[in-house]
């Protein structure tokens, strides 16, 4: 069973996941702090390049299976047109109501 994006506990994470799932690049960056960072499978990546490749250029979508840590840690089935579907883990750091860092990788 999946958790709809609008039911996620943390408002900042909820906004980011909703932006990913609606393929809304403007809302995605609005949900992030200006200096936000991220990593994929333990390697820091350029956020704009990664999001263009893994989300917006390939129609990325998250089906959240579970959340913990007050909604700042997720397990989700993530799919995009490049890689297909995979089980992923996501952790988020939130500052001033926006995501300042997220880390993702295979679960």
Which residues does residue 59 pair with via DSSP β-bridges, in sequence order?
none
Domain boundaries, the chain: 5-106
Tell me the pairing of strands 98-106 and 32-40.
parallel
pLDDT band at 51 (very low <50, low <70, confident <90, very high): very high
Nearest one of 50, 48, 57, 61 to 17, comparing CA atoms = 61
Determine the pLDDT at residue 75.
98
CA distance linking residue 4 with residue 77, whole number of Å:
13
CA distance linking residue 92 with residue 73, whole number of Å:
6
Question: What are phi and psi for residue 11, nearest 5 degrees?
Answer: -60, -35
CATH of domain 5-106: 3.10.450.50
Prediction pTM value: 0.96
pLDDT band at 1 (very low <50, low <70, confident <90, very high): confident
Average pLDDT over every residue of 6-29: 98
Q: What is the share, in percent, of the chain residues with pLDDT greater than 90?
A: 99
């Amino acid at each position: 069973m999946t958790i709809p994006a609008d039911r996620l506990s943390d408002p900042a994470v909820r906004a980011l996941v909703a932006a990913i799932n609606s393929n809304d690049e403007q809302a995605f960056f609005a949900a992030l702090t200006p200096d936000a960072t991220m990593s994929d499978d333990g390697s820091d990546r350029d956020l704009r390049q990664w999001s263009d490749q893994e989300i917006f250029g390939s129609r990325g979508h998250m089906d959240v299976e579970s959340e913990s840590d007050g909604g700042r840690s997720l397990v989700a089935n993530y799919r995009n047109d490049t890689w297909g579907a995979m089980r992923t883990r996501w952790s988020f750091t939130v500052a001033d109501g926006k995501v300042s860092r997220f880390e993702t990788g295979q679960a």
